Structures are given as structure tokens and as C-alpha cells.
Structure 1
Amino acid sequence: MTYINLPRDQQTAISDVDETVLRSAVHKCLDEERVGPIHGLGLSDCGHYVATKLHGFQQAIAEYGKAKAHAKRERNRQDALRAGSDLIHAVQQMKGRLETERHEGELFFIDDQIRPPFHLSKRLSVQVPFRWRASQFSDWKHGQLTFVYDFSPQPSYILPLPKRKPSAAQVARDLEDSLYREWERLKAQGLFSMREFFRDGGDGDAVPAMFAVRPSPYGGGLNNFSCNFWQPERPALLALIEN
């Protein structure tokens, strides 16, 4: 699963979509009241966001084609128009994201293909490899930052208490599931923080080899600032933002 980088196949699919052809196909679908004209554009390969908008447009066209009464047909046509616009906008957004990734990739790249370890303990860690350079004409430098987090599972006061005491095996499975979810959160926060650091012009030479993650002092585990290794801890400011 990727967090900050578009997979290669999605990059290719997004690049291959011609916006003029797409817009024409959307209007043709509306005129013909069928989704055939939009097939073959590779939209379902452009990622979940575009695929979701594509599905919404297909459903809207189907409802428009089934409507008989004049008033309902007009409502359904407007719904289909909006769904078509949403689809076009989604493709435009993904093209913009792809362009941003390619532009940023000239100066830095953060590897988000990170697999969880075979065994997880309450001391969680995520190693994030990266490369950077000062300009397009400089040599690449490589580094790696390890985020370390001592996780303390908290009891849930939302779920009802079990009628029977869980077995030791069930407790172990629940803990493993909790550790895996928290590890995924740690990975995501670490990747987002690394990207923010480099987007703001951060120097890769200033990235530490290891960073002790700062959980929220007000409970709840990780927050949006926990992995910001370049920022000093500011409890008063964090309290103001979180409240």
C-alpha cells in the first residue's frame, strides 16, 4: 500500500487520459444516455479516487436513461451533469498531483514501500529511506530516518464489556491487531512528516538517524505533530491547536 507516492501503473494511466477526449466522452454519454462512450479511456486504472467518481457517473447515466417522466428526467440529467463534472475534476486533480510528484521528485524522493516487521512489540519503529539533492544538477544523497514510538494501548470505553473474560490467546490476538494498526499510523505520520519537511525546503543532511516520536500529552496516542522531527516540542501550542 502506498501513502504518498502514486504507483507506477496509476501514473501511466493518469498520464494517458486526454482531458479533451474525456470531456467529449462525458457529453456524448449524456447525449446518448449510455456509458459506452467513456469505456476505453482507462479511468478505472487511475486509482481509487477517480474510480469512485467513474462509478458515480455510470450510475447517474443509468438512472437518467431509465427515467420516463419529464420532471424526473430533468433532475436525473442534472445529477448526471454534476457526476460528469466531478469525474473530470477528479482526473484533473490526479494530473495535478502527478505533476507535483514529478516536480518534487527532481529534488527528493521518500520510499513509502515499507513492510511491517514479522513481530511487533510495544516499542514500534518505522524506517523511512529517502534521497535528496540540492539541485537538479547535484548528486543524489541517501539517508534513512527511524521513527521510534513506545506504544501504550489504552482500554476502550466505547465498546461494551465482554460477557466472558477473553482467553489469553484472544488477548494476544487483540494486542497484535492493535499494534499493527498503530504501526500503520506511525508509518503514515512519519511519511507525511518527511514529505512536509522536504516540501518546505528542508536539508536532508539535517535529518537525524533516529527520532523518538512524541505522542499527544493529552492522550489518544499519535497526533499530526508527533513525527515532526524538525520542530521543537511546544506543549502550550499543541494544547491550543488540539483544543
Structure 2
Amino acid sequence: MTYINLPSNQQAAISDVDETVLRAAVRKCLDEERIGPIQGLGLSDCGPYVGAKLRAFHQGITEYSKSKAHAKRERTGQDALRAGSDLVDAVQQMKGRLETERQEGELFFIDDQIRPPFHLGKRLSVPISFRWRASPSADWKHGYVTFVYDFSLQPSYTLPLPKRKPSAAQVERDLEDSRYREWERLKAQALFSMREFFRDGGDGDGVPELFAVRPSPYGGGLNNFSCNFWQPEKPAP
């Protein structure tokens, strides 16, 4: 799973979509009350965001084509029109994101293909490799940072107590699942923080080799600032 970089196949699919052709195909789908005109544009390969809007448009056209009563056709027709507009907007947004990634890729790249370890203990760690340069004509520099976090499972007071006391094996499995979920959260926060650092003009020489993640001073574990190594730590209230 990627977090901050579009996979190469999605990049190619997004680039291949012609917005003028897409708009005409959406209009034709509405006129003909069928999804056929939009097929073959490769929209299903443009990633989950576009895929969700494509399914919504497909559903909208289907409901519109099945409607008979005038009032229902008016309503479903507007719904389908809105879904088609949302689909076009989604493709535009992804094209914008792709262009941003390409521009940023001239100055920095953060590898987000990070596999979880086979087993997780209390101390969670996420290693991230990256490269950067001062200008598109400069030589690349390479760096590596590890974010570490001592995870402590907090009891939940909102869930009902189990009717039976769980076995030791079940307790261990639940703890392992919690650690993996928190590891994924840590990975996401670390990647987003690294991207923010470079987007703001950060110098890769200023990235530490090891950073102890700062849990929220208000409790509850990680927050959006926990991995911001370049910011001073906020005192606990």
C-alpha cells in the first residue's frame, strides 16, 4: 500500500485520460442513459478515488435509466448529472496531484514502500529512505531515518466488557493486531511529516538518523505532530 506516492500504473492511467473526451463521454452517457460511452477510458485504473466516483456514476446512470415516473426521472437525472460532474472533478484532482508529485520529484523523493516487520514488540519502528537535492541540476543526496515509538495499549472504556474472559492466546492476538494497526498509523504519520518537511523547503542534512516520536501530551497516542522532528516539543499541559 502506498501513502504519498501514486503507483506507476495509476500515474500512466491518469495521464492517459483526456479531459475533453471524458466530459463528452459523460454527457453521452447521460443522453443515452447507459454507461457504455465511458468504458474504455481506463478510469478504473486511475486509483481508488476515481474508482469510487466511477462506481457512483455507474449507479446513477443505472437508476436514471430504470426510472419511469416523471418526478423520479427528474431526481435520478440530477443525481446522475451530479455524479458525472464529481467523476470529472476527481480526475482533475488526480491530474493535479500527479503534476505536484512530478514537480516535487525533481527535488525530493520519499520511499513509501515499507513492509511491516514479521513480529512487533512494544517498541515500534518505521525506517524511511529518501533522496533530495537543492535544484533539478544538482546531484542527488540520499538519507535514512528511523522513527521509533514505545506503544502502550490504552484501555477502551466505550466498549462493553466481554461475557467471557479471553484466553491468553486471544489476548496476545488482540495485542498483536493493535500493534500492527498502530504501526500502520505510525508509518503514515512519519511519511506525511517527511513530505511536509521537504515541501516546506527542508534540507535533508537536517533529518536525524533516529527520531523518538512524541505522543500527544493530551493522551491517546500519536497525533498529526508526533513525527515532526523539526519542531520543538510542546510541553505537557
TM-score (norm 1): 0.96
Distance 2:76 2:217 in 1: 51
| Equivalent-residue separation in structure 2 for 1:92 and 1:191 (angstroms) | 24
Structure 1 residue 92: deviation in Å? 0.2
Shift of 1:159: 1.2
Quote the offset at 1:156 in angstroms. Answer: 1.1
Q: What residue number does 2:98 align with?
A: 98
Identity %: 83
Specify the SS of the correspondent of 1:235: coil
Match of 1:77 in 2: 77
Give the letter aligned to residue 157 of structure 1.
Y
* Partners of 2:60 and 2:153 in 1: CA distance: 45
Whole-Å separation in 1 of the counterparts to 2:135 and 2:233: 31
Number of matched pairs: 237
Which letter maps to 2:130? F
Question: Is residue 33 of structure 1 aligned with residue 33 of structure 2?
Answer: yes
Structure 2 letter corresponding to 1:57: F
Aligned-partner Cα distance in 2 for 1:74–1:176: 52
- How far does the alpha carbon of each residue in 1:80-108 deviate from its partner, in whole angstroms, 9 at most, with x for none? 11010000000000000000000000000
Instruction: Please give the residue correspondences for 1:1-243 in structure 2 after superposition, counting only pairs within 5 Å.
Output: 1-235=1-235
Partners of 1:175 and 1:207 in 2: how far apart? 32
Q: CA deviation at 1:152?
A: 0.7
Mark the runs of 5 or more structure 1 residues left unpaired by the alignment: none
Q: 1:207-237 deviations in whole A, cap 9, x for unaligned?
A: 000000000111100000000000001237x
The aligned amino acid for 2:220 is G
After TM superposition, which residue ranges in structure 1, 4 or more long, deviate above 3 angstroms? none
User: Could you say what secondary structure the match of 1:189 adopts?
Assistant: helix
Distance in 2 between the 1:184 and 1:174 partners? 16
Gaps of 5+ in 2: none
Read off the aligned partner of 2:115 and give its amino acid letter. Answer: R
Q: 1:158 is aligned with what amino acid?
A: T
How far apart, CA to CA, are the structure 2 residues paired with 1:175 and 1:92? 42
Distance 2:90 2:67 in 1: 27
C-alpha offsets along residues 137-179 of structure 1, whole Å, 9 cap, x if unaligned? 1000000110010111111111111122111111110110011
**Displacement, 1:79?**
0.9
Q: Could you tell me the TM-score, scaled by structure 2's length?
A: 0.98
Quote the offset at 1:74 in angstroms. 1.5
Q: Secondary structure at the match of 1:154?
A: coil
